[in-house]
Structures are given as C-alpha cells and as structure tokens.
C-alpha cells in the first residue's frame, strides 16, 4: 500500500481518559454506582493509535509532561509501535487528562478536559518539525492545538491537512481558515456552527457541505451519529445510513472514523468503499468498552463490514 519509509504525521492532543459508566440510570447531584476505566486518549493520539493498528507508520506530534501519565503514554506508544519521538516532552508540566461521565446507554453526559499543556506547542516548535510534517503525504491535525499554531501550519507548510474538529467549542478555532484544509470531518453540530446553517434535513446537509467546499475544502464528511455519514466534494454526493448496533461506549468513534478515512485515502479507495470502511471502523469502536478497540485491524474491519452487509 505504502512504501516502508512513508508515514503519516498526526499533530494534536494526547491525554489520559478517565471514563465513568453507571450501572443504572444516571442521577444528577448524587453518587452513582458504576465502573471506571482508565485508558489513553486525546484526539490526535487516538487517531495515531488507530492508524498504527491499521498498519500505517505514524508519527504523533503532541505535548506531554514527564509525569506518571506522560510516562504511560510513552510506554504504551512503544508497545503498539506509534512513533512519538517528535513530540514535546516537558519537565514540570501535567499531561492532559480527560474526565468523562457516560449515561446508562454509553453516551457522554458530561466531560471535563484539562489540556493546558497543549499551549506549549508554539509556532517555533512546529517550524522545527516542518521537514517531518512536509515529508508525509498528508497530515492530520486536531483543534487541541493553539489557534495561531493551526493558522501558521495550514498557511505555511506545504502538505495537505486533514482536520478533526474535536468539539463545537474548539472547532471555532478554524472558522476563518477552513479553506486551507483538504478534508474535514465535523459532526452535525460542528458543521452547523462552522457553516452557520442549521441542519434539519438532507437539503440543509448539502447546503452546509457546499459552504465548506466554497471555502476551499476538497472533501467534507459530516458524521450524523446513528443516522450515518454524509459526504460531498463539490461533484460527488453520498450518504450512508448507519446499521443498528448496540453501543457500549461512544467515546473515540470519531477518532476511529478519521483514521479510517486516512487509511482509505492512502489505499486509494473510492468514496463508497471509504465510507463503508470508515463507518465499520467506528462501529467496532462503539461496540467496545475502551476509547480504542484493541482488536481493531484491517482484517477485523473487513470481517465486520461483511457481517453488517455494508
């Protein structure tokens, strides 16, 4: 698929996820019996791990502290083969943490992210990484990066950028530079906020996607949760409905989707197969209790795709 020297760069957040899942219906302002899991997270890191598990050489550029969580990220990256040598590793700084409380259905009810360390990734640091980034066929970025750094990268580095919008709040960082991205993957809410178009029906979906294409975006994937995925690139328009599945944990599905889009792009899959592959990758993540399904692989995705008759 790719030669052994080629790699994808992912520039974005890395943190430790602490996820709480109640046994019963969640009661506010009360102690809820349930279980907690601790796993590695951060949108950029999650995309990087998924890509690595799909057999793609991946270099993650992030910021972590030399604390217990930072050491955990370094150790786990080595175990799975995710290269983090280009990352910023800082003394006396806390590695980012993400604390999420899910409801009884596995959907996020509330989350708190502590990601102050990402502000240490400045323009001078990114400029040092220019050659590493430009030598990859394309680079994936998330909006955990400071606004001025995102802007500097897309305007000054000679490489195609794929954007993961992360959240409605963080997505606003890229509102004025959308046209510099090759591929974007907002969910419905993020697409509404970035395009200024309320999405109620399929016509609104197209209007929103057209807005992005007019800005200069080459490919738009709008994820619609249980309603599937909408795609538009100015010429081709596609919609794929999501099969009915039982969700165990909704955290991380979007990161898996982005990794799958990247894999498909490297493998020159057509858009129909790209969407099927990406949706199935998300499903394998949703059906698993962790942020990343440890059993994810190209083989397991193709097998699940056949089972789902996609």
pLDDT tens-place values along the chain, 310 residues long:
445 579 999 999 999 988 899 999 999 999 999 999 888 989 999 999 999 999 999 999 999 999 999 999 999 999 999 999 999 999 999 999 989 999 998 888 999 989 999 999 999 999 999 999 999 999 999 999 999 999 999 999 999 999 999 999 999 999 999 999 999 999 999 999 999 999 999 999 999 999 999 999 999 999 999 899 999 999 999 999 999 899 988 888 999 999 999 999 999 999 999 999 999 999 999 999 888 999 999 999 999 999 999 9
Structure tokens belonging to residue 36: 């907690």
User: Which of 59-98 are b and which e, b meaning 16 or more Cβ less than 10 Å from the residue's Cβ?
Assistant: bbbbbbbebebbebbbeebeeeebbbebbbbbeebbbbbb
- The whole-angstrom separation of Cα 64 and Cα 60 is 11
Q: Provide the whole-model pTM.
A: 0.91
Give the per-residue pLDDT at 108: 87
Give the per-residue pLDDT at 4: 57
Task: Give the closest residue to 43 by CA, choosing from 107, 96, 122, 108.
Answer: 96
- In the chain the domains, ranked by start, together with CATH numbers, are 9-307 (3.40.1190.20)
- The whole-angstrom separation of Cα 303 and Cα 126 is 39
> What φ, ψ does residue 245 adopt, rounded to 5°?
-140, 165
8 A C-beta contact, residue 265 and residue 54: no
Torsion of CA 60, 64, 70, 71, to 10 degrees: 60
Residue with tokens 């990758």: 281
State the CB neighbour count (10 A cutoff) for residue 254.
24
Give the per-residue pLDDT at 38: 85
User: Which of 278-291 are b and which e, b meaning 16 or more Cβ less than 10 Å from the residue's Cβ?
Assistant: bbbbbbbbbbbebb
């Amino acid at each position: 698929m790719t030669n052994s020297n080629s790699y994808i760069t992912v520039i974005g957040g890395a943190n430790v996820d602490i996820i709480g899942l109640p046994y019963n219906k969640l009661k506010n302002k009360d102690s809820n019996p349930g279980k907690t899991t601790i796993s590695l997270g951060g949108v950029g890191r999650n995309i990087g791990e998924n890509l690595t598990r799909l057999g793609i050489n991946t270099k993650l550029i992030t910021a972590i502290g030399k604390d217990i969580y930072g050491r955990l990220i370094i150790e786990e990256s080595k175990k799975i083969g995710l290269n983090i040598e280009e990352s910023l590793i800082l003394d006396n700084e806390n590695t980012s943490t993400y604390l999420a409380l899910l409801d009884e259905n596995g959907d996020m009810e509330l989350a708190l992210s502590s990601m102050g360390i990402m502000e240490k990734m400045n323009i001078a640091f990114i400029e040092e990484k220019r050659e590493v980034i430009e030598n990859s066929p394309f680079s994936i970025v998330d909006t955990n990066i400071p606004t001025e750094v995102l802007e500097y990268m897309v305007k000054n580095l000679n490489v195609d950028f794929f954007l993961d919008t992360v959240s409605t709040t963080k997505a606003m960082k890229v509102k004025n530079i959308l046209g510099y991205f090759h591929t974007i993957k907002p969910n419905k809410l993020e697409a509404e906020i970035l395009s200024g178009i309320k999405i109620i029906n399929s016509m609104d979906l197209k209007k929103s996607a057209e807005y992005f294409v007019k800005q200069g975006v080459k490919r738009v994937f709008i994820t619609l949760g249980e309603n599937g995925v909408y795609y538009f690139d100015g010429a081709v328009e596609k919609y794929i409905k999501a099969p009915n599945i039982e969700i165990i944990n909704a955290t991380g599905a979007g990161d898996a989707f982005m990794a799958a889009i990247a894999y498909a792009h490297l493998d020159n899959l057509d858009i129909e197969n790209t969407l099927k592959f990406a949706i199935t990758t998300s499903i394998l993540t949703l059906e698993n209790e962790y942020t990343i399904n440890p059993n994810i692989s190209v083989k397991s995705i193709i097998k699940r795709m056949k089972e789902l008759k996609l």
